[in-house]
Structure 1
Amino acid sequence: MDTFVELGYTGASTLKIATRAQVSKRELYALFGTKQAMLAACIADRAGRMQLPTQRPPRHRDELETLLAGLGAMVLREVSQPGVIAVFRLAITEAQRAPEVAETLESARRSVREAVRGITEQARSAGLIDPQAPRDMDVRFLALLWDDLMVSLLLRLREAPKATEIERRAKRAAEEFLRLYGPSS
Protein backbone atom coordinates (compact mmCIF):
# COMPACT_ATOMS: atom_id res chain seq x y z
CA MET A 1 0.00 0.00 0.00
CA ASP A 2 2.82 2.36 0.83
CA THR A 3 4.17 1.96 -2.69
CA PHE A 4 0.79 2.80 -4.24
CA VAL A 5 0.32 5.81 -1.95
CA GLU A 6 3.85 7.05 -2.48
CA LEU A 7 4.10 6.56 -6.25
CA GLY A 8 0.49 6.47 -7.43
CA TYR A 9 -1.03 3.59 -9.30
CA THR A 10 0.92 4.03 -12.53
CA GLY A 11 4.21 4.77 -10.78
CA ALA A 12 3.93 1.70 -8.55
CA SER A 13 5.42 -0.96 -10.80
CA THR A 14 5.04 -4.58 -9.82
CA LEU A 15 8.82 -4.75 -9.50
CA LYS A 16 8.79 -1.89 -6.96
CA ILE A 17 5.90 -3.51 -5.08
CA ALA A 18 7.64 -6.90 -5.05
CA THR A 19 10.92 -5.38 -3.93
CA ARG A 20 9.29 -3.50 -1.08
CA ALA A 21 7.30 -6.61 -0.06
CA GLN A 22 10.48 -8.70 -0.31
CA VAL A 23 8.89 -11.24 -2.64
CA SER A 24 9.33 -12.07 -6.32
CA LYS A 25 7.13 -10.62 -9.05
CA ARG A 26 6.12 -14.20 -9.88
CA GLU A 27 4.90 -14.70 -6.30
CA LEU A 28 2.94 -11.44 -6.42
CA TYR A 29 1.21 -12.43 -9.64
CA ALA A 30 0.50 -15.91 -8.28
CA LEU A 31 -1.20 -14.35 -5.26
CA PHE A 32 -3.08 -11.51 -6.95
CA GLY A 33 -3.10 -11.98 -10.72
CA THR A 34 -3.06 -8.28 -11.62
CA LYS A 35 -1.78 -4.99 -10.28
CA GLN A 36 -5.38 -3.82 -9.90
CA ALA A 37 -6.08 -6.85 -7.70
CA MET A 38 -3.05 -5.93 -5.58
CA LEU A 39 -4.43 -2.45 -5.00
CA ALA A 40 -7.91 -3.80 -4.33
CA ALA A 41 -6.44 -6.19 -1.72
CA CYS A 42 -4.60 -3.31 -0.07
CA ILE A 43 -7.84 -1.32 0.14
CA ALA A 44 -9.76 -4.29 1.50
CA ASP A 45 -7.07 -4.84 4.14
CA ARG A 46 -7.17 -1.20 5.18
CA ALA A 47 -10.97 -1.21 5.36
CA GLY A 48 -10.91 -4.39 7.42
CA ARG A 49 -8.98 -2.61 10.16
CA MET A 50 -11.99 -0.46 10.97
CA GLN A 51 -13.89 -2.36 13.63
CA LEU A 52 -17.49 -1.22 13.76
CA PRO A 53 -19.06 -1.41 17.20
CA THR A 54 -21.50 -4.15 18.06
CA GLN A 55 -23.63 -3.19 21.00
CA ARG A 56 -27.00 -3.97 22.40
CA PRO A 57 -29.88 -1.97 20.94
CA PRO A 58 -30.35 1.46 22.50
CA ARG A 59 -33.25 1.68 24.96
CA HIS A 60 -33.18 5.41 25.69
CA ARG A 61 -32.53 8.56 23.68
CA ASP A 62 -29.29 9.20 25.61
CA GLU A 63 -28.03 5.71 24.78
CA LEU A 64 -28.84 6.25 21.12
CA GLU A 65 -27.09 9.60 21.07
CA THR A 66 -24.02 8.12 22.77
CA LEU A 67 -23.98 5.16 20.37
CA LEU A 68 -24.27 7.37 17.28
CA ALA A 69 -21.64 9.80 18.56
CA GLY A 70 -19.26 6.93 19.34
CA LEU A 71 -19.73 5.35 15.94
CA GLY A 72 -19.36 8.74 14.27
CA ALA A 73 -16.13 9.49 16.13
CA MET A 74 -14.67 6.12 15.18
CA VAL A 75 -15.56 6.64 11.52
CA LEU A 76 -14.06 10.14 11.47
CA ARG A 77 -10.93 9.00 13.30
CA GLU A 78 -10.29 6.05 10.99
CA VAL A 79 -11.33 7.48 7.64
CA SER A 80 -9.64 10.88 8.01
CA GLN A 81 -6.20 9.33 8.54
CA PRO A 82 -3.81 10.47 5.79
CA GLY A 83 -3.23 6.90 4.58
CA VAL A 84 -6.95 6.28 4.18
CA ILE A 85 -7.48 9.58 2.40
CA ALA A 86 -4.65 8.56 0.07
CA VAL A 87 -6.59 5.36 -0.66
CA PHE A 88 -9.66 7.42 -1.58
CA ARG A 89 -7.54 9.54 -3.91
CA LEU A 90 -6.13 6.42 -5.55
CA ALA A 91 -9.59 4.89 -5.96
CA ILE A 92 -10.85 8.10 -7.55
CA THR A 93 -7.86 8.29 -9.88
CA GLU A 94 -8.16 4.65 -10.93
CA ALA A 95 -11.97 4.36 -11.01
CA GLN A 96 -12.20 4.25 -14.79
CA ARG A 97 -9.14 2.11 -15.48
CA ALA A 98 -9.64 -0.27 -12.52
CA PRO A 99 -13.27 -0.12 -11.36
CA GLU A 100 -12.72 -3.02 -8.95
CA VAL A 101 -10.57 -0.69 -6.85
CA ALA A 102 -13.46 1.76 -6.44
CA GLU A 103 -15.84 -1.13 -5.86
CA THR A 104 -13.64 -2.42 -3.03
CA LEU A 105 -13.62 1.00 -1.40
CA GLU A 106 -17.37 1.30 -1.87
CA SER A 107 -17.82 -2.05 -0.13
CA ALA A 108 -16.06 -0.64 2.94
CA ARG A 109 -18.24 2.47 2.82
CA ARG A 110 -21.32 0.26 2.55
CA SER A 111 -20.36 -1.61 5.74
CA VAL A 112 -20.29 1.70 7.63
CA ARG A 113 -23.71 2.66 6.25
CA GLU A 114 -25.06 -0.76 7.22
CA ALA A 115 -23.79 -0.33 10.78
CA VAL A 116 -25.56 3.04 11.04
CA ARG A 117 -28.68 1.57 9.41
CA GLY A 118 -28.71 -1.25 11.97
CA ILE A 119 -28.56 1.22 14.84
CA THR A 120 -31.26 3.47 13.39
CA GLU A 121 -33.60 0.58 12.63
CA GLN A 122 -33.20 -0.75 16.18
CA ALA A 123 -33.90 2.75 17.45
CA ARG A 124 -36.97 3.00 15.23
CA SER A 125 -38.25 -0.32 16.64
CA ALA A 126 -37.65 0.96 20.18
CA GLY A 127 -39.65 4.14 19.46
CA LEU A 128 -36.56 6.37 19.67
CA ILE A 129 -36.89 7.52 16.06
CA ASP A 130 -39.99 8.85 14.38
CA PRO A 131 -41.64 5.94 12.52
CA GLN A 132 -42.26 8.33 9.60
CA ALA A 133 -38.55 9.20 9.29
CA PRO A 134 -37.03 8.40 5.89
CA ARG A 135 -35.44 4.97 5.34
CA ASP A 136 -32.08 6.43 4.28
CA MET A 137 -31.24 7.76 7.72
CA ASP A 138 -27.79 6.13 7.53
CA VAL A 139 -26.84 8.40 4.64
CA ARG A 140 -28.33 11.42 6.41
CA PHE A 141 -26.42 10.75 9.63
CA LEU A 142 -23.13 10.38 7.74
CA ALA A 143 -23.85 13.62 5.83
CA LEU A 144 -24.33 15.43 9.15
CA LEU A 145 -21.14 13.85 10.44
CA TRP A 146 -18.90 14.64 7.48
CA ASP A 147 -20.41 17.91 6.27
CA ASP A 148 -17.75 19.08 3.76
CA LEU A 149 -14.76 17.58 5.61
CA MET A 150 -14.09 14.73 3.16
CA VAL A 151 -13.90 17.02 0.13
CA SER A 152 -11.53 19.35 1.99
CA LEU A 153 -9.32 16.39 2.94
CA LEU A 154 -9.32 14.95 -0.58
CA LEU A 155 -8.37 18.33 -2.03
CA ARG A 156 -5.62 18.75 0.60
CA LEU A 157 -7.27 21.97 1.77
CA ARG A 158 -6.95 20.94 5.39
CA GLU A 159 -5.35 18.41 7.69
CA ALA A 160 -7.11 15.52 9.40
CA PRO A 161 -9.15 16.73 12.37
CA LYS A 162 -7.71 16.43 15.87
CA ALA A 163 -9.38 14.35 18.58
CA THR A 164 -11.31 17.29 20.03
CA GLU A 165 -12.78 18.24 16.66
CA ILE A 166 -13.67 14.61 15.95
CA GLU A 167 -15.54 14.31 19.25
CA ARG A 168 -17.28 17.65 18.71
CA ARG A 169 -18.36 16.75 15.16
CA ALA A 170 -19.63 13.33 16.20
CA LYS A 171 -21.59 14.70 19.15
CA ARG A 172 -23.09 17.49 17.03
CA ALA A 173 -24.08 15.04 14.26
CA ALA A 174 -25.81 12.74 16.78
CA GLU A 175 -27.64 15.67 18.41
CA GLU A 176 -28.77 17.13 15.08
CA PHE A 177 -29.82 13.71 13.82
CA LEU A 178 -32.01 13.13 16.86
CA ARG A 179 -33.43 16.62 16.64
CA LEU A 180 -34.45 15.88 13.05
CA TYR A 181 -35.63 12.29 13.45
CA GLY A 182 -36.42 11.75 17.09
CA PRO A 183 -40.00 10.78 17.90
CA SER A 184 -42.46 13.57 17.22
CA SER A 185 -43.95 15.06 20.34
Structure 2
Amino acid sequence: MKKQVNVESGPQPLRERILHAAMETFMEHGYVEASTLKIATRAQVSKRELYALFGNKQAMLSACIADRAGRMQFPSLLPPPSSREELAAMLSRLGATALREVSHPAVMAVFRLAIVEAQRAPEVAVTLEAARQSIRTVVRDILVEAQSAGLIGAGDPSDMGNRYLALLWGDLMVSILLRIREAPGAAEIDRRVRKAAEDFLSLYPEPKSPARPRRQSRG
Protein backbone atom coordinates (compact mmCIF):
# COMPACT_ATOMS: atom_id res chain seq x y z
CA MET A 1 0.00 0.00 0.00
CA LYS A 2 1.40 3.39 -1.02
CA LYS A 3 2.31 5.64 1.88
CA GLN A 4 0.69 9.09 1.79
CA VAL A 5 2.86 12.18 2.15
CA ASN A 6 2.10 14.28 5.20
CA VAL A 7 1.71 17.73 3.69
CA GLU A 8 1.45 19.31 7.16
CA SER A 9 4.77 17.89 8.40
CA GLY A 10 7.02 20.19 10.43
CA PRO A 11 6.48 23.76 11.64
CA GLN A 12 5.31 24.79 8.15
CA PRO A 13 3.07 22.89 5.73
CA LEU A 14 5.30 20.71 3.57
CA ARG A 15 4.41 22.41 0.30
CA GLU A 16 5.15 25.86 1.71
CA ARG A 17 8.43 24.67 3.17
CA ILE A 18 9.56 23.18 -0.13
CA LEU A 19 8.64 26.31 -2.10
CA HIS A 20 10.46 28.53 0.38
CA ALA A 21 13.56 26.31 0.14
CA ALA A 22 13.29 26.19 -3.65
CA MET A 23 13.17 29.96 -3.96
CA GLU A 24 16.18 30.42 -1.68
CA THR A 25 18.11 27.77 -3.61
CA PHE A 26 17.24 29.32 -6.97
CA MET A 27 18.46 32.71 -5.74
CA GLU A 28 21.66 31.31 -4.24
CA HIS A 29 22.76 28.90 -6.98
CA GLY A 30 20.80 29.94 -10.08
CA TYR A 31 18.05 27.91 -11.70
CA VAL A 32 20.31 25.48 -13.58
CA GLU A 33 22.58 24.71 -10.62
CA ALA A 34 19.72 24.47 -8.10
CA SER A 35 19.37 20.70 -7.99
CA THR A 36 16.38 18.96 -6.48
CA LEU A 37 18.76 17.41 -3.95
CA LYS A 38 19.86 20.85 -2.76
CA ILE A 39 16.23 21.96 -2.51
CA ALA A 40 15.19 18.81 -0.63
CA THR A 41 18.12 19.16 1.77
CA ARG A 42 17.29 22.79 2.53
CA ALA A 43 13.62 21.95 3.02
CA GLN A 44 14.56 18.98 5.21
CA VAL A 45 12.47 16.57 3.17
CA SER A 46 13.25 13.53 1.06
CA LYS A 47 13.40 13.73 -2.72
CA ARG A 48 10.45 11.32 -2.77
CA GLU A 49 8.35 13.82 -0.81
CA LEU A 50 9.49 16.61 -3.11
CA TYR A 51 8.52 14.73 -6.26
CA ALA A 52 5.21 13.70 -4.72
CA LEU A 53 4.16 17.36 -4.71
CA PHE A 54 6.12 18.69 -7.69
CA GLY A 55 6.95 16.64 -10.73
CA ASN A 56 10.14 18.53 -11.56
CA LYS A 57 12.21 21.64 -10.87
CA GLN A 58 10.33 23.82 -13.35
CA ALA A 59 7.05 22.92 -11.63
CA MET A 60 8.54 24.19 -8.36
CA LEU A 61 9.58 27.47 -10.00
CA SER A 62 6.14 27.82 -11.60
CA ALA A 63 4.54 27.28 -8.19
CA CYS A 64 6.82 29.90 -6.62
CA ILE A 65 5.82 32.45 -9.25
CA ALA A 66 2.14 31.49 -9.11
CA ASP A 67 2.19 31.89 -5.33
CA ARG A 68 3.34 35.50 -5.66
CA ALA A 69 0.98 36.19 -8.58
CA GLY A 70 -1.93 34.83 -6.53
CA ARG A 71 -1.33 37.49 -3.90
CA MET A 72 -2.31 40.17 -6.39
CA GLN A 73 -5.89 38.96 -6.02
CA PHE A 74 -7.17 40.47 -9.24
CA PRO A 75 -10.86 39.56 -9.51
CA SER A 76 -11.69 37.65 -12.68
CA LEU A 77 -15.02 39.42 -13.13
CA LEU A 78 -15.43 43.11 -12.34
CA PRO A 79 -18.56 45.23 -12.72
CA PRO A 80 -18.22 47.53 -15.74
CA PRO A 81 -17.34 51.14 -14.85
CA SER A 82 -20.28 53.52 -15.12
CA SER A 83 -18.29 56.77 -15.27
CA ARG A 84 -14.80 57.98 -16.04
CA GLU A 85 -14.28 58.65 -12.34
CA GLU A 86 -15.14 55.04 -11.59
CA LEU A 87 -12.83 53.88 -14.38
CA ALA A 88 -9.99 55.91 -12.86
CA ALA A 89 -10.69 54.40 -9.44
CA MET A 90 -10.65 50.84 -10.83
CA LEU A 91 -7.38 51.41 -12.67
CA SER A 92 -5.89 52.96 -9.55
CA ARG A 93 -6.84 50.01 -7.33
CA LEU A 94 -5.39 47.51 -9.78
CA GLY A 95 -2.32 49.68 -10.31
CA ALA A 96 -1.65 49.91 -6.59
CA THR A 97 -1.85 46.13 -6.21
CA ALA A 98 0.48 45.60 -9.18
CA LEU A 99 3.06 48.10 -7.91
CA ARG A 100 3.01 46.68 -4.40
CA GLU A 101 3.24 43.01 -5.34
CA VAL A 102 5.49 43.14 -8.40
CA SER A 103 8.03 45.39 -6.67
CA HIS A 104 8.21 42.97 -3.71
CA PRO A 105 11.84 41.81 -3.19
CA ALA A 106 10.94 38.15 -3.84
CA VAL A 107 9.32 39.00 -7.18
CA MET A 108 12.23 41.22 -8.20
CA ALA A 109 14.53 38.31 -7.37
CA VAL A 110 12.59 36.15 -9.83
CA PHE A 111 12.96 38.81 -12.53
CA ARG A 112 16.72 38.92 -11.94
CA LEU A 113 16.81 35.13 -12.08
CA ALA A 114 14.98 35.15 -15.42
CA ILE A 115 17.48 37.66 -16.83
CA VAL A 116 20.53 35.74 -15.62
CA GLU A 117 19.22 32.37 -16.82
CA ALA A 118 17.76 33.60 -20.13
CA GLN A 119 20.21 31.59 -22.24
CA ARG A 120 20.48 28.39 -20.21
CA ALA A 121 16.90 28.15 -18.95
CA PRO A 122 14.45 30.16 -21.11
CA GLU A 123 11.55 28.39 -19.38
CA VAL A 124 12.11 30.67 -16.38
CA ALA A 125 11.23 33.73 -18.46
CA VAL A 126 8.29 31.91 -20.08
CA THR A 127 6.87 31.03 -16.67
CA LEU A 128 7.30 34.58 -15.41
CA GLU A 129 5.74 36.08 -18.54
CA ALA A 130 2.62 33.94 -18.07
CA ALA A 131 2.18 35.46 -14.60
CA ARG A 132 2.69 39.00 -15.93
CA GLN A 133 0.06 38.40 -18.60
CA SER A 134 -2.62 38.09 -15.92
CA ILE A 135 -2.16 41.77 -15.03
CA ARG A 136 -2.43 42.89 -18.65
CA THR A 137 -5.51 40.75 -19.18
CA VAL A 138 -7.41 42.33 -16.28
CA VAL A 139 -6.54 45.86 -17.42
CA ARG A 140 -7.57 45.03 -20.99
CA ASP A 141 -10.91 43.61 -19.85
CA ILE A 142 -11.66 46.77 -17.87
CA LEU A 143 -10.93 48.91 -20.92
CA VAL A 144 -13.15 46.74 -23.12
CA GLU A 145 -16.01 47.42 -20.70
CA ALA A 146 -15.14 51.12 -20.64
CA GLN A 147 -15.33 51.28 -24.42
CA SER A 148 -18.68 49.50 -24.43
CA ALA A 149 -19.98 52.05 -21.92
CA GLY A 150 -18.77 54.93 -24.13
CA LEU A 151 -16.26 56.17 -21.55
CA ILE A 152 -13.21 56.08 -23.83
CA GLY A 153 -12.82 56.24 -27.59
CA ALA A 154 -12.09 53.51 -30.09
CA GLY A 155 -8.76 51.73 -30.12
CA ASP A 156 -7.10 48.42 -29.29
CA PRO A 157 -7.78 47.71 -25.58
CA SER A 158 -4.57 45.67 -25.32
CA ASP A 159 -2.48 48.57 -26.61
CA MET A 160 -4.33 50.94 -24.29
CA GLY A 161 -3.67 48.66 -21.34
CA ASN A 162 0.02 48.50 -22.15
CA ARG A 163 0.10 52.29 -22.33
CA TYR A 164 -1.53 52.54 -18.90
CA LEU A 165 0.99 50.13 -17.37
CA ALA A 166 3.84 52.08 -18.97
CA LEU A 167 2.50 55.28 -17.40
CA LEU A 168 2.18 53.48 -14.07
CA TRP A 169 5.69 52.04 -13.96
CA GLY A 170 7.84 54.50 -15.88
CA ASP A 171 11.46 53.46 -15.22
CA LEU A 172 10.68 52.23 -11.71
CA MET A 173 11.11 48.51 -12.44
CA VAL A 174 14.50 48.98 -14.11
CA SER A 175 15.74 51.03 -11.15
CA ILE A 176 14.64 48.35 -8.68
CA LEU A 177 16.14 45.54 -10.78
CA LEU A 178 19.44 47.41 -10.86
CA ARG A 179 19.19 47.93 -7.08
CA ILE A 180 19.46 51.68 -7.61
CA ARG A 181 16.43 52.16 -5.39
CA GLU A 182 14.05 50.30 -3.11
CA ALA A 183 10.44 49.29 -3.73
CA PRO A 184 8.00 52.23 -3.51
CA GLY A 185 6.23 52.97 -0.24
CA ALA A 186 2.51 53.62 0.23
CA ALA A 187 2.75 57.36 -0.42
CA GLU A 188 4.62 56.93 -3.70
CA ILE A 189 2.28 54.16 -4.84
CA ASP A 190 -0.70 56.41 -4.19
CA ARG A 191 0.91 59.25 -6.14
CA ARG A 192 1.85 57.00 -9.05
CA VAL A 193 -1.57 55.40 -9.48
CA ARG A 194 -3.39 58.74 -9.38
CA LYS A 195 -1.02 60.31 -11.91
CA ALA A 196 -1.13 57.27 -14.22
CA ALA A 197 -4.95 57.23 -14.26
CA GLU A 198 -5.07 60.99 -14.84
CA ASP A 199 -2.57 60.84 -17.73
CA PHE A 200 -4.30 57.80 -19.24
CA LEU A 201 -7.70 59.50 -19.32
CA SER A 202 -6.08 62.58 -20.88
CA LEU A 203 -4.73 60.39 -23.67
CA TYR A 204 -8.10 58.70 -24.23
CA PRO A 205 -10.87 61.26 -23.82
CA GLU A 206 -14.56 60.51 -23.76
CA PRO A 207 -16.00 60.27 -27.28
CA LYS A 208 -17.96 63.29 -28.39
CA SER A 209 -21.66 62.77 -28.89
CA PRO A 210 -22.73 63.16 -32.52
CA ALA A 211 -24.15 66.58 -33.23
CA ARG A 212 -27.91 66.67 -33.62
CA PRO A 213 -29.17 67.99 -36.97
CA ARG A 214 -30.63 71.47 -36.77
CA ARG A 215 -34.30 71.92 -37.45
CA GLN A 216 -35.02 74.16 -40.37
CA SER A 217 -37.30 77.03 -39.55
CA ARG A 218 -40.52 77.25 -41.46
CA GLY A 219 -40.92 80.52 -43.21
Q: Would you say 1:60 and 2:65 are equivalent positions?
A: no
After superposition, give the CA deviation of every residue in 1:52-93 in whole Å (9 maximum; x if it has no partner).
Answer: 144311101110111111110110011001111001111222
Asked if the contact 2:83–2:151 (Cα under 8 Å) also holds between the matched residues in 1, the reply is yes
Greater Cα offset, 162-171 or 49-58: 49-58
Higher helix share: 1
Q: Would you say 1:43 and 2:60 are equivalent positions?
A: no
Unmatched tracts of structure 2, length 5 or more: 1-22, 209-219
After superposition, give the CA deviation of every residue in 1:105-124 in whole Å (9 maximum; x if it has no partner).
Answer: 11111110000001111001
- Aligned residue pairs, count: 184
Using the alignment, how far apart are the partners of 2:100 and 2:24 within structure 1? 20
Asked if the contact 1:43–1:101 (Cα under 8 Å) also holds between the matched residues in 2, the reply is no
Residue 59 of structure 2 aligns with an amino acid whose one-letter code is A
Q: Which of 134, 146, 150 does residue 123 from structure 1 map onto? A: 146
Aligned partner of residue 30 in structure 2, secondary structure: helix
| TM superposition shift of 1:38 | 2.2
Q: Would you say 1:176 and 2:199 are equivalent positions?
A: yes
Partner of 1:79: 102
Decide whether aligned partners of structure 1 residues 122 and 142 sit closer, same or farther in structure 2, where only a CA change above 3 A counts. Answer: same
| TM superposition shift of 1:30 | 4.6
- Give the alignment's Cα RMSD to 1 decimal: 1.8
Asked if the contact 2:150–2:207 (Cα under 8 Å) also holds between the matched residues in 1, the reply is no
Residue 129 of structure 1 aligns with an amino acid whose one-letter code is I
Residue 163 of structure 1 aligns with an amino acid whose one-letter code is A
Using the alignment, how far apart are the partners of 2:132 and 2:91 within structure 1? 16
Decide whether aligned partners of structure 1 residues 167 and 173 sit closer, same or farther in structure 2, where only a CA change above 3 A counts. Answer: same
Partner of 1:34: 56
Asked if the contact 2:176–2:183 (Cα under 8 Å) also holds between the matched residues in 1, the reply is yes
Higher relative contact order (Cα pairs below 8 Å, separated by 6+ residues): 1
TM-score by length of structure 1 reads 0.90
Q: Would you say 1:107 and 2:113 are equivalent positions?
A: no
Residue 57 of structure 2 aligns with an amino acid whose one-letter code is K
| TM superposition shift of 1:31 | 3.9
**Whose Rg is larger?**
2
| TM superposition shift of 1:14 | 2.3
Greater Cα offset, 39-48 or 143-152: 39-48
Identity of aligned residues (%): 68
TM-score by length of structure 2 reads 0.77
Q: Which of 11, 19, 30 does residue 8 from structure 1 map onto? A: 30
Unmatched tracts of structure 1, length 5 or more: none
Q: Which of 40, 59, 69 does residue 18 from structure 1 map onto? A: 40
